Amino acid sequence: MRKTAALTLASRALVVAALAAGGPAWAQSTPGAAAPLRLPSLGEASSEALPVATERRYGEQIMLQLRRDPAWLDDPVLLDYVQSLWQPLLAAARRRGDIEPDVDNAFAWDIFLLRERTLNAFALPGGRVGVHLGLIAATASSDELASVLAHELAHLSQRHIARGIASASRQSGVATVAMVLGALLAARAGSPDLAQAAIAGGQASLIQGQLNFSRDMEREADRIGHGVHVEAGFDAAGSVAMFDRLDQSARLNDAGSLPYLRTHPLTTERLAEARTRLPAQGTPGPLSTPEHTLMQARARALAASGADALRRLVEAAAAGSRNDAGGLYAGALAASKLGDHGRAQTLAQALASTVGTPSSDSTTASQGPARCSLPVTLLRAELALARGDASVAQGLLETCAPAPPTRAALLLRAQADAVSLTQAREGKREATAQALALRGSVQDLQTWLASHPQDAAAWGVLARGADALGLTLRALRAQAEERAALGDLDAAIDRLRGAQQVARQRGREDFIEASVIDARLRQFEAQRRQRAADMR
């Protein structure tokens, strides 16, 4: 796998260096590889080793680095889908009492994506879960993907990172005592070789203790995750199918040797345990849904690295069956990324015909939402925007507007309205209707951001929309909020100071917005001072 900057690599040896706790929970570990240390239920040891508030701050610091990583991906369509699986799991964990109130209030409980083709997901301190595109692309059903998310949720709810630190502290103390006593005895005996052996034995004891601890935590997460998975209404066979997929993958690069040196139990062992948890009568196994098939295809296209990989997806779609919805979806998105908008439109229309959605891009609201497929409509609107057809994107979104709107639909609609207004003005056409539509989208974005203030992408779209409407102060503030959400407080402060200068030039023209800018500037400056203190 290609190496990426900052903490994408830390998703493989997750927080071991920073927190003595872990690597990816689902990748089969090789001997000596680092992986997350997991432990069961909460307790005094975890709270003393790493208080909940401190763990949350650690997680935020890690996220600051991850957001700068080239592999970081904020794809609203995929994130909406993964969130649709994550939220029922989170609700089920709360119903079961798996999450303590102080942990529930402090943790972020958030999902993010990385543009990595490996079959992997991992948990971070403070309640965040990273998902590789390769995992989404490899799973055959939503039940399989949900089983992985449930496993990671169990790591978070049981605070395995904090408990791992407590275990490491205890074991390192015992190992140190053993090494010191051994060295003293060797010195009394006058044997340097015996001293070296004592030191090596103490170190081996420490490493083995941590490996045993990690394997126990993986088993715990498997067990608790299974309960959450079933409680949330997913097919229990999904976890079995997922382990079977992992086992097949592991056979390609893993001989199964030295299991006692692994931080995870062998996949075959976990597969056998998962099968014992199935109902006595057994189940036919999870079935793929049309939405999951399309999201698999989207993950494949977004994970494709380079023009050659994208061209292969386009060629496969063109040569494949017209009934292969996943292939058509991936091919259309890949063609758009290559700039071949004509081919992208052709494949998207074939996809719409395959799933029963009106295939003409002259779609109007009169055709109604009865034949609407939201994933296909969002794709076609995305492709229309990419080729500059804002009015087509608007029409498509009107035919399939979910209520309340999903994040992806909200962002796409605001982008389409902003482009439509700009095009009307550039063509010197009457733009009253376009401006009115954009004002509505800007208001919807502000409503969304009131409950999702860390949504950097939404702030960015709001900034462009406000700028198109001539709302300069609001646009500058949105730009600052976008930079702050991405962790760049210096840039956020610069933009707010620029906004203050504009406000002074305008006098009391927009007193409310100017007051908000002043307040946010003070808050960002305080956050920057606190961050500097934390780093020290």
Tell me how far apart the alpha carbons of residues 369 and 367 are, in angstroms, rounded to a whole number.
Answer: 7
Please report the DSSP string for 163-223 in residue order: HHHHHHHHHHHHHHHHHHHHHHHHHHHT-HHHHHHHHHHHHHHHHHHHHHHHHHHHHHHHH
Residues 6+ apart with CB under 8 A from 173: none
SS3 131: strand
* Residue of 78, 1, 47 whose CA lies nearest to 407: 78
Q: CA 245 to CA 347: how far, in whole Å? A: 30
**Run of H or E residues at 146:** helix 142-157
- Domain layout of the chain by residue ranges: 6-276, 304-389, 471-536
Active site amino acids: 152
- Three-state SS string over 398-441 comes to HHCCCCCCCHHHHHHHHHHHHHHHHHHHHCCCCCHHHHHHHHHH
| Contacts with 150 (C-beta within 8 Å, 6 or more apart), sequence order | 89, 225, 226, 228, 229, 232, 234, 239
Beta bridge partners of 110: 128
| Contact call for residues 25 and 155 (beta carbons, < 8 A) | yes
Report pLDDT for 13. Answer: 36
Q: pLDDT tens for the chain, 536 residues: list them.
A: 433 333 333 333 333 333 333 344 444 333 333 333 333 344 444 555 678 888 888 888 888 888 888 999 999 999 999 999 999 999 999 999 999 999 999 999 999 999 999 888 888 889 999 999 999 999 999 999 999 999 999 999 988 877 776 655 554 544 444 444 454 444 444 455 555 555 555 445 444 444 445 777 888 888 899 899 999 999 888 877 787 777 666 555 554 433 333 345 555 666 666 667 676 545 555 567 889 999 999 999 999 989 999 999 999 999 988 889 999 999 999 999 999 999 999 999 999 999 877 776 754 444 444 467 899 999 999 999 999 999 999 999 988 877 788 999 999 999 999 999 999 999 988 899 999 999 999 999 999 999 999 999 999 999 999 999 999 999 999 999 999 999 899 999 999 999 999 999 887 778 889 999 999 999 999 999 988 887 77
Residue 115 has a pLDDT of 95
pLDDT at residue 287 in the model: 66
Residues 6+ apart with CB under 8 A from 255: none
Report the predicted TM-score, pTM, of the whole model to 2 decimal places. Answer: 0.81
Residue 171 tokens, joined: 């074991």
| Ranges of H-type helices in 190-324 | 192-231, 237-250, 267-276, 290-303, 307-319
